[in-house]
Amino acid sequence: MIHDLKTRKLSPELIVRIVVGVILSIYLGWRIYLSIFGDQAYGPDTWLRFLITGLVIGGIYALIAIGYTLVYGILFMINFAHGEVMMLGAFVGFFVLEAFAALPTPTEGNPELTFLNAYPVIALILVFIAGAAISALMGYALEKIAYRPLRNAPRLIPLISAIGASIFLQNAAQLLFGPQRRQYLNPDLLARGSGWMIQVGEKSVMLTYTGVFSFVLSILLMVGLFFLVKKTRLGKSMRAVAENKHAAALMGIDVNAVISKTFIISGLLAGSAGVMWGIHNGLFNHYVGFLPGIKAFTAAVLGGIGNIPGAMMGGMLLGLFESLGPALLGIDFQLKDVIAFTVLILVLVFRPSGLLGEALSEEKV
């Protein structure tokens, strides 16, 4: 609009941005060049390890980011409590796994066997179903209680409500389940710290089972979502509502039902991401949703908010930035969270529509 027209011309602001951008890129390029070809602090095996970590975490980020993007695409609000939905998934998965581990299923060969290790595949499927289902329920309830009454309020209002819901859920989890960090009980099939060894030069890198499992599962879920949105009737109505709520309602689409289903779908994905997080990383507590939530939002913005392939790509990229970034830029690993936030700021400053996003109209930004 007014602002866009102004920036089309070479305004001083744009020139400053370009200059800063160029200087920044040159500096970053130099740091990356130094760390790869300069002092060679890391061997190829380490780089491969970073790459694997990045892809696995990226898959989890992508799943959460899709939830942000779906909701943002329809309601133009940041579902701030989305990270907490993921946290709930992690807790549910933990409890179900504990229950399975306590359920004795003795066989002839091994009388001490538990259900978890007797039928690991069924157990894992049930764990994911439970985690995803409870998270989906949470997403549904969240929309119904905290967001639906505010559907027509100014945009600041639902955002604050979402922040409130996020604080509430986080503290509810802390009060209910205690503040301590907990350890996921994986079935032996997916024991943490075991995996395939890959020879790289003289050293070997472990490709953990949990990592491969999480990555494959996240890709499968993303493909499933993609088909849901592109091929099914529900997906069609979701896209219609995202395009224009009033027109969609005039075409006979039940907008409220579609919005509820959108929250359910994003809850399903976030819940699966939470279980995956637990299975892959092991330790978690009630804060587990906060940082991944914000980073996944970053990922959604990076890919172009409202754009589903964008969220997937953004999640992967952010995972990679985070695991490769500190090494590439030669900075401390403590600062990896800073990288995510810096990426967010840079994207918003230099390309607010994201990598894959189209320029949004004023109403949607």
Please give the residue ranges that form the binding site for other proteins (CB under 8 A): 1-3, 76-78, 95, 98, 145-146, 149-150, 153, 155-161, 163-172, 175-178, 294, 297-298, 301, 331-332, 334-335, 337-338, 340-342, 344-345, 348-349, 352, 362, 365
Q: Which is nearer to other proteins, 206 or 256 (CB)?
A: 256
Measured CA to CA in angstroms, residue 62 lies from 58, 78, 151, 175, 263 at distances of 6, 16, 27, 29, 16
The distance of closest approach from Cβ of residue 327 to other proteins in the complex, given in angstroms and rounded to an integer, is 15
Amino acid at 243: E
Residue 174's CB: how many other CB atoms inside 10 A?
14
Q: Which is nearer to other proteins, 122 or 291 (CB)?
A: 291
The distance of closest approach from Cβ of residue 120 to other proteins in the complex, given in angstroms and rounded to an integer, is 22
- Kindly give the interhelix angle for 209-231 and 308-329, rounded to the nearest 10 degrees: 150
* Range list of β-strands (E), the chain: 182-183, 195-200, 203-208, 283-284
Q: Which is nearer to other proteins, 148 or 203 (CB)?
A: 148
Q: What are phi and psi of 185, to 5 degrees?
A: -95, 105
The distance of closest approach from Cβ of residue 207 to other proteins in the complex, given in angstroms and rounded to an integer, is 30
The distance of closest approach from Cβ of residue 206 to other proteins in the complex, given in angstroms and rounded to an integer, is 27
The distance of closest approach from Cβ of residue 334 to other proteins in the complex, given in angstroms and rounded to an integer, is 5
Nearest of 292, 311, 157, 171 to residue 149 by alpha carbon? 157
How does DSSP classify residue 183? E
Computed on alpha carbons and rounded to an integer, the radius of gyration of the chain in Å comes to 22
Q: Which is nearer to other proteins, 78 or 275 (CB)?
A: 78
Residue 257's CB: how many other CB atoms inside 10 A?
12
Residue 121's CB: how many other CB atoms inside 10 A?
9
Q: Which is nearer to other proteins, 32 or 159 (CB)?
A: 159
Q: Which is nearer to other proteins, 57 or 294 (CB)?
A: 294
The distance of closest approach from Cβ of residue 141 to other proteins in the complex, given in angstroms and rounded to an integer, is 10
Helix (H, G, I), strand (E, B) or coil at 289: coil
